[in-house]
Structure 1
Amino acid sequence: MPSAAEVVVVGGGLEGCAAAWQLTTRGVTDVLVLERSTVGSGMTGKSSGIVRCHYGVPTLAAMAVYGTEVFEHASDLFSDGLDIGFRSCGYVVGVGPENVEALHANLAAQRAAGVQTETIDHATVAELWPTARLDDFAAFAHEPRGGYGDAYLTAQAFAAAARRGGARVAQGAGVAAIETDAEGVCGVRLGDGSRVASRQVVLAAGPWSVALAAPLGVDLPIRVHREEIILLKPGVPTEGLPVFSDLVSLQYVRPDVGGEILFGNSDLATLKPADPDHYLDRADDAFVDMAAAKIGHRFPGLDDAVLASSYAGCYDVTPDYNPVISTVPAMPGLVVAAGFSGHGFKISPAVGRLVADLVVDGTSSDPRVPEHDLRLARFAEGDLLRSPHPYVGAGEMR
């Protein structure tokens, strides 16, 4: 363990490793990533891996566009022939009558942010998802470049690229505290009592960021929500199926590489509080029953489907369901990247780039991603980052 580093990144998940990689591309090579377990072993490994640019917040849409571009060119960017699990199967979103106007407004804003998206009709969706019931949808949109990926493999790719750029990644190196002096951040103290001096610390520890920030007088308004996922053996071929976001029944489904179908719940109106160190890591019976009802309604053609497995992870959720990627004026040298609220995978390359910008320049290099939108201070100021055109019933995730 080095005694000092120009930049210390706390957390070896997607966002921390993306930040380390992007810092090296900016010429900052004395970077040390500290991960308490192994790279991608926290909530990164529990991601459902959806890739979409369909956001009502233009900043998030632009970040997802950049993320998609990185995923599409992963082999060139990281290692020749590398497979990070990205599958560009397309992304379909369907809405009810009450959300048609919002859909069209959001599509216009997304196109302005660089998203390739279009409206499609019921007949086209029926061809894409032949087993789906579609009569209660009023409109659909389609992103041909959307799809899904593997967050764990992607984190590994970011970490490997960071190492090639000169960064060091220390696993089994849990941080007990971020240390400060009269000038601001001055380093970190590890669980074994050793210290690493640094005037730049990036806090990217997911739901564990809150406890590390609190002793500094930095209040991260983050709640921890337990998110459950189930995998079905559908009994029908899944090849060619796109990701389907159902904003009528509030669910999302996607094919998985083994021929299974992954199901997740889009209704976050009521959160399930959890301790990220101690929680049930599978779907409970109530969730399975709810999923069965939603899937049975939407996909009557899957009448031979059976439950294959389930798992659960935790979201670090902010009051506006959008992340904090921010310097902290009261604590010079600290950059926070936390509170991703379920959006972290698809925007992780852009998160890393913005973190690197904040460390090096103090401002964003992408005019489509103003750092002001994602500042921590917005919560105290009552200036939450909200979609101008929210979807009724699904505003939390859009």
Structure 2
Amino acid sequence: MAEVVIVGGGLEGVAAAWALSSRGITDVVVCERHTVGSGGTGKSSGIVRCHYGVTSLAAMADAALDVFENAADVLGADVGFRQTGYVVGVGAPNVAALRASLADQRAVGVRTEEIGRDDVARLWPGAYLDDFAAFAWEPRGGYGDAYRTAQAFAAAARAAGVRIRQATPVHDVLVDAGRVTGVRLADGETISAGTVVVAAGPWSVPLLAAHGVELPIVVHREAIVVIDPGQPLGDVPVFSDLVSLQYVRAEGVGGVLFGNSDLATLEPADPDAYLDRATEDFLDGCAQKLSHRFPGWGDATVTSTYAGCYDVTPDFNPVISATPIDGLIVAAGFSGHGFKISPSVGELVADLVTGGASRWPRSDFRLSRFSEGALLRSPHPYVGAGEMR
């Protein structure tokens, strides 16, 4: 028996457990089918930015920075956050959208500004920048380690009294007369609870569907490539290139992590059985983009590749919401945004559990927006890269 059961020990589930424990709600059980952070969390590229046209996401990402910057004090652990800064560049069709988005971000407290080509040339020596028309800069941005962050959330919650059960898959959410009553585990054990939070990424879908609740998620496979650029780069910031539709950041000692920003066409996948590496076509595309943007990397080599899965909603924004079943809450469909907003997600889930007021507009993330046809979209979409902004 517990006051709250959280299904899923990934980043969002343990962030919710931590947030609840921070409010003194510690009669909480987290059920993770494998180990903490073993799903999509461990495949995150870890980008930290507040550059969102959806201002609620921008504000959540900005607040999350307070946790990342002070993780040793807040969580009691180094979570691998490296505050290198974050730069985004756009072509001429997106200049107006960039400037409008920056104004909206500043209005909710984000520290961001437009900078010039010469500034970016100093930040990223050797980058070809002539096809960009405008740039934005976030000095508080950077990258972190989602797996280490999940472990830190879990350890802090456990120290406060939360029970985290690994190798504990949940088979069913139990419902009686329209109200949640707990969960049934795969081995037949039941855990009674007045509140159940389903935060199991793509595996959330069948748990809700069993009770007639549709969670519109497509699982998308996304590859990551780690590169040795063949030359020292120094302390470069994260670079989001919305002309070539790629992003790059430092990785390890002297390496570079490459990610794709073109999600106009999804690659559906089975989250339990997908290709865990980049394909030859993906590597060819990576080489073309990098050789265009960094023409001096003639000796660059690929050191490794891997792949993860995004749980993508129709508007590429998460569901953090109550459901039609009393006491059943869902936090899923993060569509690639989950790491950078995870501390704020935990806070919002705790608000939903307790029924208290929230500093986040919870209606933005309501599940019913899909059936209502009221998708959560940026008012300043970027041509060619609107899905991730």
- Bin of the TM-score, shorter chain as denominator length: over 0.9
Map of 2:104 onto structure 1 = 109
User: Which ranges in structure 1 are unaligned for 5 or more consecutive residues?
Assistant: none
Map of 2:18 onto structure 1 = 21
2:349 pairs with 1:358: no
Map of 2:121 onto structure 1 = 126
Map of 2:73 onto structure 1 = 76
2:369 pairs with 1:375: no
SS at match of 1:219: coil
Do 1:92 and 1:242's aligned partners in 2 also have CA atoms closer than 8 Å?
A: yes
216-225 or 176-185, which deviates more: 176-185
1:239-258 aligned within 5 A: 239-258=234-253
| Matched residue type, 1:204 | A
Map of 2:332 onto structure 1 = 338
TM-score (norm. length: structure 1): 0.97
Do 1:354 and 1:364's aligned partners in 2 also have CA atoms closer than 8 Å?
A: no
SS at match of 2:378: coil
Query: What's the CA shift for 1:148?
Result: 0.1
Query: What's the CA shift for 1:183?
Result: 4.4
Do 1:364 and 1:371's aligned partners in 2 also have CA atoms closer than 8 Å?
A: no
1:1-398 aligned within 5 A: 4-79=1-76, 82-328=77-323, 330-361=324-355, 364-366=357-359, 369-398=360-389
| Matched residue type, 2:32 | E
Query: What's the CA shift for 1:68?
Result: 1.1
68-77 or 235-244, which deviates more: 235-244
User: Aligned partners of 1:13 and 1:268: how far apart in 2?
Assistant: 23
Q: C-alpha offsets along residues 259-316 of structure 1, whole Å, 9 cap, x if unaligned?
A: 2100000000000000000000011111000110011111112111100000000000
Do 1:107 and 1:117's aligned partners in 2 also have CA atoms closer than 8 Å?
A: yes
| Matched residue type, 1:91 | Y
Q: C-alpha offsets along residues 64-121 of structure 1, whole Å, 9 cap, x if unaligned?
A: 0011111000001111xx2211000000000000000000000000001111001110
SS at match of 1:231: strand
Do 1:263 and 1:291's aligned partners in 2 also have CA atoms closer than 8 Å?
A: yes
| Matched residue type, 1:45 | G
After TM superposition, the runs of 4+ consecutive aligned structure 1 residues lying more than 3 A away are: none
User: Which ranges in structure 2 are unaligned for 5 or more consecutive residues?
Assistant: none
TM-score (norm. length: structure 2): 0.99
SS at match of 2:210: helix
Computed over aligned residues only, the root mean square deviation of the Cα atoms, in angstroms, reads 0.8
| Matched residue type, 2:18 | W
Q: How many residues align?
A: 389
Query: What's the CA shift for 1:235?
Result: 1.2
Q: C-alpha offsets along residues 143-193 of structure 1, whole Å, 9 cap, x if unaligned?
A: 000000000000000000111121110000000110110141101011111
- Return closer, same or farther for 1:48/1:9 CA change in 2, 3 Å cut-off: same
Do 1:221 and 1:319's aligned partners in 2 also have CA atoms closer than 8 Å?
A: yes
User: Aligned partners of 2:25 and 2:218: how far apart in 1?
Assistant: 33
User: Aligned partners of 1:21 and 1:339: how far apart in 2?
Assistant: 20
SS at match of 1:198: strand
User: Aligned partners of 1:236 and 1:155: how far apart in 2?
Assistant: 33
User: Aligned partners of 2:153 and 2:288: how far apart in 1?
Assistant: 39
SS at match of 1:66: helix
User: Aligned partners of 2:317 and 2:48: how far apart in 1?
Assistant: 16
User: Aligned partners of 1:185 and 1:338: how far apart in 2?
Assistant: 18
Q: C-alpha offsets along residues 208-247 of structure 1, whole Å, 9 cap, x if unaligned?
A: 1101110011100000000100000111223310000000
| Matched residue type, 1:32 | V
User: Aligned partners of 2:254 and 2:38: how far apart in 1?
Assistant: 25
